[in-house]
Structure 1
Amino acid sequence: MKMFVLLQQLFFNRIGIVSSIVVITWLFWKYRTSLYVISKTWRRDLRGLRRGVRALCKIVLYERNCMSIPKVFQKVARNKNNKVAIYFEDEIWTFQRLEKFSNRIANYFIRKGYQKGDTVALLLENRPEYVGIWLGLSKIGVITALINTNLVSKPLYHCISVGKVKGLIFGSDFTNVVNDISSDLQNVQLFKYDKLISEELSNESEASPDAHIAQTTPKDTILYIYTSGTTGLPKAANIKNSRMYFTATGINSFLELTDNDVFYNSLPLYHSSGGMLVIGQCVCFGVTVELRRKFSASNFWSDCNKHDSTVASYIGEICRYILAAHENKPPVKHNVQKIFGNGLKKDIWNDFVEKFNVPQVYEFYGSTEGNCNLINLDNKFGSIGFIPNFMNFIITVTLIKCDEETKEPMRNADGFCVECKADEPGILIGKINKKISIHHFDGYVNSKETSGKILRNVFKTGDSYFNSGDLMVKDSLGYVYFKDRTGDTYRWKGENVATTEIEYQISGIIGPKDVVVYGVKVPKTEGRAGMIAIADPTNSINRSKLASELKAQLPSYAVPLFLRVMDSFPMTGTFKVKKNELQNDGFDINIIVDPLYMYDSKKVDYIPMKDVYNDIIEGNLRL
């Protein structure tokens, strides 16, 4: 009897084991894709979560204590005191010196009658005083409008007027451009920096305006930073104290910066990357910044070595310029362990990292005003960051489907947007939550421009999201890749063409030369034809090879019809090509002095435009 019970137990135990194995095997098979993704991404996701939580804790404390940037810097300056805040050329600015200078600025403008809520525009080249000026103004609650130093005439006046500025501080180098619009600045008080610093500011009190600082809050606007104006006049984005601290904290935590780091910055201080993200490390966390007046590709690494910089910033095509400047030169020795920025193109990514032996690339995505922020933490080639597949309860950015032609978000039968699947291109959007600062969208000075960037009733009635206007693709592992800006695509022969994809192909053919692709209108035709602009002062491009390679690599509709060879491109101060200006020129041989060519599909070559221009205009040539 006992033997029977024993055998029965063994039999049923065996059945239990077998059943368990079957169930476990079935579960593994059913969720094999998810398990594979987790196995590949769990380290990345946990790393991001750990650094994100660290940043969030700092932000929560900041808001609970009703801090502001002036309050934070006051604390940093007291703690760091004689530590170097900014290296600039042959100057050394300690935190104590920056604190005293900013106090002089604050007291000077108090004496001039400026009050909380007033706006002062700042038109000045990169220098330590730039930081001290807006920091001092922020101590008395005055907003500083950071003006692009490349602007003249109407765009310059537009930025001053849209910001409703009461005063304008400008450097002596900008005397002529200010004089050109002086008749329109009757109600704006002008402060020439050199005169200000030499005659009045040097005698101003260095005492901290504590009573004014105490009145500043996280919700106060501290800066106006303008969009680049690649497709129109610049828009003034509201930068509140809380936003500046949030972005600075995010970078500090995700890059794991320490008190020993030196951050090299050659980007303009009127731009968010250089003036807010990098300078934010100095102002909010006491990180030393090495500042250059203007970017120089040939001096980039020697500058970094001057003060042993460990981190360096980049944007746009800067890395391409640096790579070209050191072509056929011996390896460069440096201490830079991390580079941080956006716009590092895939065609030079590996070349740059290998040639200069850069251990870590922190490519990020973000806009001055938006709440869609991503960052690449693990050197994933070509990626601008990641969206974890299993943390939707934390991550509030996503991709939604859009119409191929209009680029407008698509809606389902219930009127809601549709989330993209893996490898499906879509618009990046970020959820707006007014209760959580990191999910705010503070918008622009112009309320109409603000409302134009908000999508409503996206996934449920009553919700709202910031529309980045940028097309992205997310792969199965959650890595996100920039595809194109919705305004940078064009439609030709019934098909949509993504300009960045064509630029990538062309760069692979012609090598390290600057190239942009855009659509231009052609009389008596539908859509826009593709046009290439190449910066090649010697006009050494092998046009026949370019044409044949493009024909081999691209669909026929995607081969750009026109080619323009230029000495250089019209650029914004943040190294972005003014495509709108090039588009307005079109292919008009009456206004363009650069060499122009048209793609001949029969000859598979780019032939001189003058030979076919009239036929194109009159519609006699089949395109």
Structure 2
Amino acid sequence: MIMYVITCLLLIFFSLLINKHKFIVNIVKTLPRDFLAIRRMLKLNWRLNEVEKNGDTICKIFGQIAKKYPHKIALYYENEKWTYRELDLFSNQIANYFASKGYVKHDTVSLLLENRPEYIAIWLGLSKIGVITALINTNLTSNLLIHSLKVASSKGFIFGSDFSKAVSDITDSIADIHLFEFNDKCKDELLQQPSTLPDEILNVKLKDTLCYVYTSGTTGLPKAAPISHKKLVFLGYTITYMLGLTEKDTFYNPLPLYHVAGGLFAISQTLLVGIPIVLKKKFSVKNYWTDCEKFGCTISNYIGEICRYLLSVHNPDKPVNHKVQKMFGNGLRPEMWDAFVKTFKIPHMYEVYGSTEGNASLVNLDSKTGAIGFLPIWAKFLTPESIIKCDPDTGEPIRNSKGFCIRCKTNEPGLMVGKISTKKEFLGYTDEKATQKKILLDVFTRGDRYFNTGDILVQDELGYFYFKDRTGDTFRWKGENVATSEVEGVVTGFLKFYDVIVYGVEIPGTEGKAGMVAIVDQSKTIDLKELAKELKCKLPSYAIPIFLRILLSAPITGTFKLQKVDLKKEGFDVNRIKDDLYFYDAKVSEYVPLTTEIYENIISGKIKL
């Protein structure tokens, strides 16, 4: 703390010398925020140093928690209550069962199961004998399911009875993988196993891979990203200490357990800290706040779309009662932020930035509207995260004459990268080629290595970061860069609670890509004339979507991320698309039906865009 004060005083002194008064004002303005972060970081680093010194794995720390709180409720699920002792003993039985079947350290067992307490017990138990669990997306079938099993080199496959049809459809393609159907008979057999801690736990190390979590598959096939014991312990405690959580909290978790946010980060608070967690089989917009009130939940997690769903069904005349003080997650749109906080009276919204496989992470500690996190402005060149200039079309970093990347200036959008080190490791994917594609070399010095997040961020003069777009989502039109997230923000702000997807499409004979917006409107009641007026008022002419598509449903992943791949491929082809299509006629500033004649005139170049 003393060093921080000295550093600030030195910065202020030198700033005075060069007359940077605004910089001084900004430092003073952000001092409370930075002091809070430093206090929590000191506590976090102390705990993480202990973990490394002792080699504490997830299963080792959980064992300590289970001994400390044997009769405390660890998991609430429907009418079930699991104590820490019950979870510990059942996970031991899982471990002993698979050890008896010949599974050893570094083997992989895939898991396809709905949200339920046994899900956690299974991967926790397997971790006690060093077996890696691949957490399979419950929405996958056919070739995608086969791909996910094989890319993880699965030796065994545990699946719930609800997925028996999907599994039977692919058995010929996975003949070399041993199948375990998890049902009542299977559970009875597991309960006959010894509940003692397996000896193999002594061979499990902090650096060992705990599980594989798959990328969402919004672009291309899902990739399996390894999560080590060390990474989950470090990230789990980061959430604990940076958000100020304690064992007195109760966690509401409606997210899928195969996803890193719901299945690992949320669950880590139960296993590492002793925070009871309420599991839901599926997210229910109707029961969300009712459940929070019923179980006395003080914290919950979210995906941005969940917040939108909750707002969309809220009845202003019906008060919402709950004890939730803190919510953390990512993807809450800035234009909905204040409305959500005010409507549901949430004192602390912690937007968190990161990715399944990445090493670049940020946390918005002071509920700054729209921000995904911050770094102290006096430490811009000292942190492992940096924003660098990149080509908006390709996403490739722009380098100077010496071959090094160029840091972005304040309020200048650029590519977020994270330095790879022993503290900020990047484990990559099971696919080595995919791993190498995410690593940038010689970024600021010869030999350094950085993880390429693929995200376009911007940092303001107070050090707050804001998400702009994904590389590949930003497109160029009329010589200008168009950020899809900004256009989506304007459309969403006007339409409120509709699913909106913006992307670029190619037009023969033109440079760049033209904007296109797809909107889910089952009732087809959107006033396109008023929408066009809003877009003309809020957006520069080059950013107004030229094409508009009305969808009956949104293509989304299991974690509510909107998929653009197929939409981009289909473009605005009236001969291929059955949905209603519209064309923005700039002469009248309105959307008109995209007829076959208009389409042919665009393709042939008779209509100049």
For the aligned pair, the TM-score class normalised by the smaller chain equals over 0.9
Structure 2 residue 124 is the aligned partner of structure 1 residue 135: yes
Matching of residue 469 in structure 1 with residue 454 in structure 2: yes
Counterpart position of 2:50: 61
Contact conserved, 2:515 with 2:543, CA < 8 A, in 1? yes
Cα distance in 1 for residues equivalent to 2:15 and 2:258: 58
Counterpart in 2 of 1:622? 608
What residue identity is the alignment partner of 1:201?
L
1:307 corresponds to 2:295: yes
1:590 corresponding residue in structure 2: 575
- Give the 3 Å change call, closer, same or farther, for CA 444–25 of structure 1 in structure 2: closer
Equivalent residue number for residue 177 of structure 2: 188
Q: CA deviation at 1:25?
A: 12
C-alpha separation in 2, matches of 1:236 and 1:262: 31
The offset of 1:334, in angstroms, is: 0.7
What SS does the corresponding residue of 2:22 show, helix, strand or coil? helix
**Aligned position for 2:228:** 240
Establish whether residue 451 from structure 1 lines up as the match of residue 440 from structure 2: no
Residue 102 of structure 2 corresponds to residue 113 of structure 1 = yes
SS of the residue 1:364 aligns to: strand
Give secondary structure in 2 for the equivalent of 1:39: helix
Give the superposition deviation at 1:196: 5.2
Which structure 2 residues correspond to residues 556-567 of structure 1 after superposition, within 5 A? 556-567=541-552
Change (3 A) 1:98 1:26: closer
The whole-number CA distance in structure 2 between the counterparts of 1:194 and 1:348 is: 42
In the alignment, residue 289 of structure 2 is paired with which amino acid?
W
For the 8 Å contact 2:15–2:21, the answer to whether it is kept is: no
The Cα offsets for residues 274-298 of structure 1, whole Å up to 9 and x where unpaired, read as 1111000011111111111111112
What residue in structure 2 maps to residue 32 of structure 1?
21
Structure 2: how far apart are the matches of 1:158 and 1:525?
Answer: 37
Residues 521-560 of structure 1 mapped to structure 2, 5 A cutoff: 521-560=506-545
Please say if residues 304 and 330 of structure 2, whose CA atoms lie closer than 8 Å, have aligned partners that are also in contact: yes
Task: Give SS of 1:488's match.
Answer: coil
Name 1:488's counterpart in structure 2. 473
State the partner residue of 1:395. 383
Cross-structure match for 1:574? 559
- 1:116-143 per-residue CA deviation (whole Å, 9 max, x = no partner) reads 0100000011111100000000000000
CA distance in 1, matches of 2:556, 2:151: 22
5+ residue gaps, structure 1, are: 1-22
> Offset at 1:155?
1.2
In structure 2, what residue type is equivalent to 1:352? F
> CA 1:164–1:411 in structure 2 vs 1: closer, same or farther (change >3 Å)?
same
**Counterpart code for 1:283:** L
Q: Which amino acid aligns with 1:556?
A: S
SS in 1 for 2:595: helix
- Post-superposition CA distance 1:571-617 (Å, at most 9, x none): 10111011112212222233322211111111221111225223233
Deviations 1:372-395 (A, max 9, x none): 110001111100010111235752
Q: Give the partner amino acid of 1:486.
A: T
1:85 partner SS: strand
Please report the TM-score for the alignment, with normalisation by the length of structure 2.
0.95
Q: Deviations over 1:141-188 (max 9, x none)?
A: 000000011111111111111000001101111111111111110100
Task: For residues 3-54 of structure 1, give each alpha carbon's deviation from its aligned partner in whole angstroms, at most 9, with x where no partner exists.
Answer: xxxxxxxxxxxxxxxxxxxx99993782422321121111111111111121
Instruction: Give the direction of change, closer, same or farther, for the CA distance of 1:371–1:26 in structure 2 (3 Å limit).
Output: closer
In structure 2, the partner of 1:349 is: 337
1:367 aligned partner? 355
Determine if the alignment matches structure 1 residue 317 to structure 2 residue 302: no
Structure 1 residue aligned with 2:3: none
Shift of 1:326: 0.8
State the Cα distance separating 1:455 from its structure 2 match: 0.9
Q: CA shift at 1:396, angstroms? A: 1.3
- Greater Cα shift, 583-592 or 319-328: 583-592
Equivalent runs, 1:191-270 vs 2, <5 Å? 191-194=180-183, 197-209=186-198, 211-270=199-258
CA distance in 2 between counterparts of 1:26 and 1:496 reads 35
- Which entry has the higher C-alpha Rg, 1 or 2? 1
CA contact (8 A) 1:238 1:369 kept: yes
- Distance in 2 between the 1:621 and 1:328 partners? 48
8 Å Cα contact 1:564-1:595 kept in structure 2: yes
Number of aligned pairs? 597
Residues in 2 aligned to 1:532 and 1:393: alpha-carbon distance in whole angstroms: 38
Letter in 2 for 1:107: N
Check 1:29–1:433 CA distance in 2 against 1; reply closer, same or farther (3 A cut): closer
* 8 A contact 1:571–1:578 mirrored in 2: yes
CA 1:486–1:26: 2 relative to 1, 3 Å? closer
Tell me, in whole angstroms, the C-alpha distance in 2 between the residues paired with 1:395 and 1:308. Answer: 38
Cα distance in structure 2, aligned partners of 1:270 and 1:112: 24
Counterpart amino acid of 2:16?
Answer: L
The offset of 1:333, in angstroms, is 1.2
Sort the Cα spacing of 1:475 and 1:357 in 2 relative to 1 into closer, same or farther, 3 A.
same
Q: Is the 8 A contact 2:388 2:406 kept in 1?
A: yes
Q: Could you list the per-position Cα deviations for residues 474-509 of structure 1 after superposition, in whole angstroms to 9, with x for gaps in the alignment?
A: 011101111111121112222221000001111222
2:6 maps to which residue?
none
**Secondary structure in 2 matching 1:30:** coil
2:263 is equivalent to residue 275 of structure 1: yes
Q: Distance in 2 between matches of 1:138 and 1:63?
A: 18
SS of residue matched to 2:568:
helix
CA contact (8 A) 2:393 2:474 kept: no
Q: Deviations over 1:203-254 (max 9, x none)?
A: 1121111x21111001100010000000110111110000000010000001
- Determine the C-alpha separation between the residues in 2 that align with 1:322 and 1:28: 52
* TM-score in terms of structure 1 length: 0.93
Residues 298 and 326 in structure 1, CA contact (< 8 A), matched pair in contact too = no
Q: Check conservation: 1:146, 1:223, Cα contact below 8 A.
A: yes
Contact 1:502 1:517 in 2 (8 A): yes
SS of the residue 1:487 aligns to: coil
Q: 1:392 to 1:557 in 2, by over 3 A?
A: closer
The amino acid that maps onto 2:522 is P
Aligned partner (choices 314, 325, 341) of residue 337 of structure 1: 325
Q: Output the CA distance in 2 between the equivalents of 1:473 and 1:214.
A: 46
- Structure 1 letter corresponding to 2:156: G
Q: Say if 1:423 and 1:189 are closer, same or farther in 2 by CA, change over 3 A.
A: same
Structure 2: which 5+ runs fail to align? 1-11
Amino acid at match of 1:482: F
Distance 1:212 1:333, change over 3 A: same
**How far apart are residue 65 of structure 1 and its match?**
0.8
Are the equivalent residues in 1 in contact too, given 2:392–2:475 (CA < 8 A)? no
- Shift of the 307–442 alpha-carbon distance from structure 1 to 2, 3 Å rule, reads same
Report deviation, 1:511: 2.2
Does the 8 Å CA contact 1:316/1:574 hold for their aligned counterparts? no
**Cα distance, 1:562–1:506 mapped onto 2, change above 3 Å:** same
Say if 2:128 is the partner of 1:177: no
User: 1:141, 1:222 within 8 Å by CA — same for their partners in 2?
Assistant: yes
In the alignment, what sits opposite 1:10? none
SS at match of 2:300: strand
Q: Does 1:78 align with 2:67?
A: yes
Contact 1:282–1:288 (Cα < 8 Å) also in 2: yes
Aligned partners of 2:138 and 2:529: how far apart in 1? 40
| Runs of 4+ off more than 4 Å | 23-26
Distance 2:415 2:56 in 1: 35
Go from structure 1 to structure 2 and tell me whether the alpha carbon gap of 1:27 and 1:610 turns closer, same or farther (over 3 Å shift): closer
SS in 2 for 1:409: coil
What amino acid is aligned across from residue 54 of structure 1 in structure 2? K
| 2:501–2:517 contact (8 Å) kept in structure 1 | yes
